C-alpha cells in the first residue's frame, strides 16, 4: 500500500523518529531523553494493558523520521533547534509480577537523566508509570508543580487493595513533600472518582480545569494557575484528548480536548515556567482505529519534544 511515509522516504526505525539511541543514561548528553515503560504497578484485573504503547508510538513516529530537519509548522521550525540533542533510551525491563522493582527501575532512570541535566520524557504504559517519575524528580531539590492532563482525577486511595495503581496517581503525588501544587485539566464524564475523592483533592488545594471549561474558554485559566518560573512536570493521559482523535484508550469519553488545546497548554507552560519532566500514558494499541490515535500521539510527542528543546 502506498503511504505518505513511504513517499517521504521513511523506513523502519528502532527509536522514536530515528533519534540517536542512548544505552547509558549515566553518560547521556542531551536536552531531552525519551524512554518507555510497558507498565509499572498493574491491577490484577487488567495487567499491563498498555504494554504495546511505546512501540506503537515509535512506529507511528517512523513516518516523520526521514524528515526530521523539515519545518514542523506546529513549532515554527524543525523539531530540534540547531545544536539541541534528543535521544531515545529504549524501554525499561519492567515485568508484571514485580511492581516494586518496576517503580525502582523508573525512579532510577529518572534520577540518572535529571543528574545529567536532561528532561525525562516517559512513554507508558498505564497511568501508574508516572508515580515513580514524579517521586524521583525530588532529586532536583526543587519544589514541583504537577500539571495533570487527563479525563480522570486519579485520586482513589486504593483499588483492589493496590495503592500505587493508575487510579491513585495524583493522590500519591499529593503526598510527596516536594509537590507543592497540583493543577488538573480535562476531567469529564463519569470515571473512577467518588464524591469523597473530589472533596479530598479540593481540600488539598488542587485546582481543576474541567474539559467543559476548556471547550468553552480554552486552556488559559490553567496557564494562569502555573506560577511564573515554576518547575513543572506534565502528566498527560492520552484519554484527555477527545476519542474522535484519540480512540486508543481503555475508556473513551466524549467531550475531550483537541490536539491544539494540549499543544497550546504545553507551549504556554514552557513560556512562563520550565517543563522538568513529561509523561504520555494510557495509549492502548488494540483500541486504536486505523493508526489514528498512534499518529496523534506521535505528532503530539514531536510537538512536546520541540517545546522542551526550545525552553530556556
Nearer to Mn ion, 13 or 201 (CB): 201
Q: Which stretch binds Mn ion (CB under 5 A): 135-143, 150-158, 218-226, 268-276?
A: 150-158
- Kindly state the number of chain residues that form the binding site for Mn ion, as judged by CB under 5 A: 5
Nearest-approach distance from CB 311 to Mn ion, in angstroms:
26
**242 interacts with Mn ion by CB under 5 A:** no
Which of 150, 197, 200, 231 touches Mn ion by CB under 5 A? 150
Nearer to Mn ion, 58 or 152 (CB): 152
Q: Which stretch binds Mn ion (CB under 5 A): 57-65, 105-113, 235-243, 269-277?
A: 235-243
Half-sphere exposure of 18 (CA within 13 A, CB side): 13
Nearest-approach distance from CB 84 to Mn ion, in angstroms:
31
Cell of 302: 514531536
Nearest-approach distance from CB 282 to Mn ion, in angstroms:
6
Element (H, E) at 236: strand 231-237
Span 112-131, contacts to Mn ion by CB under 5 A: none
Half-sphere exposure of 309 (CA within 13 A, CB side): 22
**88 interacts with Mn ion by CB under 5 A:** no
DSSP-derived 3-state class of residue 215: helix
Nearer to Mn ion, 10 or 301 (CB): 301
From CA 28, how far away is CA 9, in angstroms rounded? 29
Which of 237, 264, 279, 288 touches Mn ion by CB under 5 A? 237
Half-sphere exposure of 299 (CA within 13 A, CB side): 16
Nearer to Mn ion, 211 or 232 (CB): 211
160: left (phi over 0), alpha (psi -120 to 50) or beta: left
**C-alpha pair distances (Å), 112 with each of 28, 139, 177, 232, 274:** 9, 10, 21, 18, 19
Q: Which stretch binds Mn ion (CB under 5 A): 152-160, 207-215, 257-265, 283-291?
A: 152-160
From CA 42, how far away is CA 33, in angstroms rounded? 25
**111 interacts with Mn ion by CB under 5 A:** no
Name the β-bridge partners of 184. 148, 208
Residues forming the site for Mn ion (CB under 5 A): 150-152, 237, 239
Amino acid at each position: 500500500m502506498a503511504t505518505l511515509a513511504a513517499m517521504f522516504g521513511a523506513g523502519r526505525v528502532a527509536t522514536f523518529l530515528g533519534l540517536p539511541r542512548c544505552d547509558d543514561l549515566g553518560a547521556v548528553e542531551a536536552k531531552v531523553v525519551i524512554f518507555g515503560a510497558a507498565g509499572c504497578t498493574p491491577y490484577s484485573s487488567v495487567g499491563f494493558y498498555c504494554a504495546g504503547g511505546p512501540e506503537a508510538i515509535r512506529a507511528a513516529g517512523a513516518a516523520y523520521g526521514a524528515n526530521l530537519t523539515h519545518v514542523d509548522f506546529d513549532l515554527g521550525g524543525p523539531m530540534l533547534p540547531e545544536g539541541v540533542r534528543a535521544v531515545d533510551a529504549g524501554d525499561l525491563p519492567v515485568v508484571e509480577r514485580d511492581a516494586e522493582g518496576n517503580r525502582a527501575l523508573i525512579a532510577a532512570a529518572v534520577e540518572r537523566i535529571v543528574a545529567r541535566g536532561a528532561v525525562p520524557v516517559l512513554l507508558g504504559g498505564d497511568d501508574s508509570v508516572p508515580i515513580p517519575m514524579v517521586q524521583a524528580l525530588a532529586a532536583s531539590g526543587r519544589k514541583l508543580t504537577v500539571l495533570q492532563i487527563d479525563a480522570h482525577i486519579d485520586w482513589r486511595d486504593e483499588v483492589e487493595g493496590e495503592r500505587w495503581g493508575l487510579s491513585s496517581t495524583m493522590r500519591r503525588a499529593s503526598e510527596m513533600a516536594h509537590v507543592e501544587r497540583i493543577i488538573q485539566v480535562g476531567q469529564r464524564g463519569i470515571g473512577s472518582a467518588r464524591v469523597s475523592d473530589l472533596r479530598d483533592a479540593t481540600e488539598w488545594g488542587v485546582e481543576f480545569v474541567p474539559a467543559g471549561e476548556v471547550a468553552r474558554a480554552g486552556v488559559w485559566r490553567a496557564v494562569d494557575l502555573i506560577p511564573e518560573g515554576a518547575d513543572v512536570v506534565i502528566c498527560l493521559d492520552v484519554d484527555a484528548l477527545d476519542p474522535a482523535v484519540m480512540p486508543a484508550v481503555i475508556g473513551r469519553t466524549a467531550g475531550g480536548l483537541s490536539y491544539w488545546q494540549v499543544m497550546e497548554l504545553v507551549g504556554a507552560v514552557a513560556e512562563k515556567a520550565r517543563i522538568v519532566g513529561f509523561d504520555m500514558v494510557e495509549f492502548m494499541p488494540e483500541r486504536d482505529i486505523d493508526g489514528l490515535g498512534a499518529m496523534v500521539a506521535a505528532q503530539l510527542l514531536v510537538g512536546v519534544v520541540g517545546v522542551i528543546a526550545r525552553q530556556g
